[in-house]
């Protein structure tokens, strides 16, 4: 098939492109390189089935494809808060443009939504039936509400135009290929530990996250796209094993043999206290659950970041 991946030069998008090529598909990778990088897909350029296009999804795109994976949007707070208006436009206008394309060519389209649609949840763990607790005017709202609106658009196109949609809600994901300056907790802790800086913990470190390794996440996204029974989602994809920030920091220090000390800073506004997916639906509908343990995934990710730092590719900000 001919498959379009928006945000295809990003952390997850580049690995998705690689998997799709390995499955024998032709892949059109679209990215405006705000957070993505040509370096992430440079090894794919020699593949005759791969095409790279610089494009911003807030503008219409006219191509012929069979499937669309819509991953375009900065996903870390430091990046999506840099230009919050553009972040909202990417989620909302980008969804409208990609849905319009899917409608025109009759393509199946998958939306990479997020656990942030649940906000600071009052239900734990979070099932897909939970509507969330989101601040609509906060610093994180450009991303949270943008993704919520994108889901609305997907289901309105499904109901109004009978479009073939799939919606996945991605929980915290990590692995080789992450942006070293994306401000996410895994990349922050690893870079700080490898460079001997204090490891920054916000609040008391008791807040929790659930970390899913990159390869596990790409696998379930592919399974979701290939479902033929009319199942639309939304469906949670992520690792249900929950860790506190203190536990993660101490594990990173152990795996890197770092001398870094812990530094406690004030908690950012609207930072969720808990985040853990209920993946019962993914187990039932897709026969999927993650297989990579946090220690194993972190070891591979640390090796990747160590290579960036030792080769001089990492530039502190």
Q: Which residues are catalytic?
A: 143
Cα distances (angstroms) measured from residue 22 to each of 16, 19, 110, 315: 10, 5, 19, 32
In the chain, DSSP assigns E strands to 2-6, 26-31, 50-54, 67-70, 108-114, 165-170, 173-174, 199-202, 208-210, 212-213, 235-237, 242-244, 262-265
Find out whether 71 and 3 touch, Cβ atoms under 8 Å. Answer: no
DSSP reduced 3-state for 223: helix
| Sequence-ordered list of residues with C-beta below 8 angstroms from that of 144, at least 6 positions apart, any chain | 114, 116, 117, 119, 134, 135, 138
Find out whether 112 and 57 touch, Cβ atoms under 8 Å. Answer: no
Residue 131: left if φ>0, alpha if ψ -120 to 50, beta else—which one?
Answer: alpha
The arrangement of strands across the sheet holding 2-6 comes to: 50-54, 26-31, 2-6, 67-70, 108-114, 165-170, 235-237
């Amino acid at each position: 098939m001919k498959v379009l991946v928006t945000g295809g030069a990003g952390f997850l998008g580049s690995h998705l492109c690689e998997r799709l090529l390995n499955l024998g598909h032709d892949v059109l990778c679209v990215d405006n390189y705000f957070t993505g990088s040509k370096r992430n897909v440079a090894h794919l350029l020699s593949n005759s089935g791969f095409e790279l296009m610089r494009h911003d999804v807030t503008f219409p795109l006219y191509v012929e494809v069979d499937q669309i994976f819509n991953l375009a949007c900065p996903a870390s707070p430091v990046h999506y808060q840099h230009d919050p208006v553009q972040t909202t436009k990417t989620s909302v206008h980008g969804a409208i443009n990609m849905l319009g394309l899917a409608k025109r060519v009759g393509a199946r389209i998958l939306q990479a939504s997020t656990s942030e649609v649940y906000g600071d949840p009052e239900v734990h763990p979070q099932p897909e039936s939970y509507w969330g607790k989101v601040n609509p005017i906060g610093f994180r709202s450009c991303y949270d509400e943008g993704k919520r609106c994108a889901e609305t658009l997907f289901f309105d196109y499904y109901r109004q135009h009978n479009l073939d949609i799939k919606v996945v809600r991605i929980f915290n994901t990590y692995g080789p290929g992450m942006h070293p300056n994306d401000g996410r907790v895994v990349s922050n802790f690893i870079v700080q530990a490898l460079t001997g800086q204090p490891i920054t913990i916000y609040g008391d470190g008791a807040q929790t996250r659930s970390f899913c390794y990159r390869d596990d996440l790409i696998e379930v996204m592919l399974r979701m796209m290939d479902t033929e029974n009319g199942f639309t989602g939304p469906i949670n994809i992520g690792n249900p094993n929950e860790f506190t920030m203190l536990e993660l920091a101490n594990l990173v220090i152990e795996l890197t043999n770092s001398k870094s000390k812990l530094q406690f800073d004030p908690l950012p506004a609207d930072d969720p206290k808990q985040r853990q997916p209920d993946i019962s639906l993914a187990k039932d509908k897709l026969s999927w659950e993650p297989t990579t343990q946090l220690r194993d995934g972190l070891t591979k990710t640390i090796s990747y970041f160590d290579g960036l730092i030792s080769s001089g590719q990492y530039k502190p900000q």
